[in-house]
Amino acid sequence: MADDRSNAVLVTGGRGFIGRAVTFLLQRLGYDVVSVDTTPYDSVRTHDQESGQKILCDISNREELLHAFEAERIGGIIHLAAILPTAAQRDPLRATQVNVVGSLNLLELARRFGVRRFVFGSSLSVYGIWPADRIVSEQDRAAPEDIYGAAKLYVEQMGKVFSDRDGLEFVSLRIGRVVGAGAQSASSAWRSHVFEHLDATSPVDISLPYAPSERILAVHVDDVARMLVTVVQAARAKYTIYNAHCESIVVADLKREVERLNSNITVSLGGESVVGNPRLLDCSRFAGEFAFQTLPIFERLKTAAARGKD
């Protein structure tokens, strides 16, 4: 998109955890944003500037989605809308309608309306499980083990077809476990609780299902937003697929750090293994091309804890 602020950026899943951070960052940088979601726009607390177009629609409904493209001239798309893994397991048909058919609708409308850059929020779940000591790069085989990961991989493949055939600049960012305040996740509430409870003045228990020796690939939501916006702004992208910058964090170390920052917090661990994702990741492709750096998760925890004491 080459940093062209004369065209709006369409953000699907704009009311979601990542979508809110992306919308806020784009608006702060001066972009017009067309935000699309199925969640009513007055039902979610946000820190964005509440400007731009906000469209209530289901991306699997092509006619509803068409209104978003007619609202403003769209120069770039950041596609985040999806049925997430737990819900996808419960209702695979609905997940396929949104995650696959909805993505196809977006790609077809992007081609029709001459969108230049399409940035897809993919997932490390496309890789499936790898040995704990294996560092996984974009060159390694993708072998998803659930419907969610399979859909992400299929959309990447569709995007490549549109790129090769129609010249749409399709870029996929494979994202790990996103942490930070405000995740509102029922299935993995720890991702936000480790940040939200750092100012606790009475006992709080945070539960992580993983064994102490396990590693999780984590990235803060603000860094994910910066990576997605970096790609939509770039004059060009050398590759169509990038691993998002993630940290491999030992679960026992995370427990120790959170409890150190606030003695009122107890982090209870389970005995589960990490499934569906690698434990170690090569992020050098993205970091090298875009000169991108992130603030370590533990530094973000310290900052959040200090802010809570102010």
Look at 122-126, 185-189, 208-212 and tell me which has the smallest mean pLDDT.
185-189
Say if residue 139 is in the same domain as residue 251.
no
Classify residue 212 by its DSSP letter: T
Asked whether residue 47 carries a pLDDT value surpassing 70, the answer given is no
Q: Are strands 247-250 and 215-220 parallel, antiparallel or unpaired?
A: antiparallel
Say if residue 189 is in the same domain as residue 67.
no
Instruction: Give domain status of residue 268, yes or no.
Output: yes
Say if residue 187 is in the same domain as residue 170.
no
Say if residue 272 is in the same domain as residue 163.
no
- Number of CB atoms found within 10 A of residue 307's CB: 10
Instruction: Give domain status of residue 76, yes or no.
Output: yes
* pLDDT of res. 48: 44
Say if residue 55 is in the same domain as residue 158.
yes
Q: pTM higher than 0.85 for the full model?
A: yes
DSSP conformation letters of 122-138: EEGGGS----TTPEE-T
Whether residue 52 contacts residue 27, with contact meaning beta carbons closer than 8 Å, is answered with: yes
Question: What is the phi/psi pair of residue 219, to 5°?
Answer: -150, 140
Instruction: Give domain status of residue 2, yes or no.
Output: no
Instruction: Give domain status of residue 133, yes or no.
Output: yes
Q: What is the pLDDT of residues 83-94, one digit of tens each?
A: 999 999 999 999
Query: What one-letter code names the amino acid at 134?
Result: R
Say if residue 22 is in the same domain as residue 168.
yes
Whether residue 233 contacts residue 267, with contact meaning beta carbons closer than 8 Å, is answered with: no
Say if residue 127 is in the same domain as residue 210.
no
Q: How many whole angstroms separate alpha carbon 254 and alpha carbon 193?
A: 12
Domain that holds residue 15: 8-177+220-243
Q: What is the pLDDT of residues 244-265, one digit of tens each?
A: 999 999 999 999 999 999 999 9
Say if residue 163 is in the same domain as residue 19.
yes
Look at 1-10, 54-63, 194-203, 248-257 and tell me which has the smallest mean pLDDT.
1-10
Whether residue 231 contacts residue 77, with contact meaning beta carbons closer than 8 Å, is answered with: no
Say if residue 127 is in the same domain as residue 273.
no
Say if residue 264 is in the same domain as residue 146.
no
Instruction: Give domain status of residue 283, yes or no.
Output: no
Mean pLDDT of the chain: 93
Q: How many whole angstroms separate alpha carbon 31 and alpha carbon 25?
A: 9
Token look-up 């050398």 returns 238
Q: What is the pLDDT of residues 107-146, one digit of tens each?
A: 999 999 999 999 999 999 999 999 999 999 999 999 999 9
Instruction: Give domain status of residue 147, yes or no.
Output: yes
Say if residue 84 is in the same domain as residue 183.
no
Asked whether residue 46 carries a pLDDT value surpassing 60, the answer given is no
What CATH number does the domain containing 93 carry?
3.40.50.720
What CATH number does the domain containing 208 carry?
3.90.25
How many domains, the chain?
Answer: 2
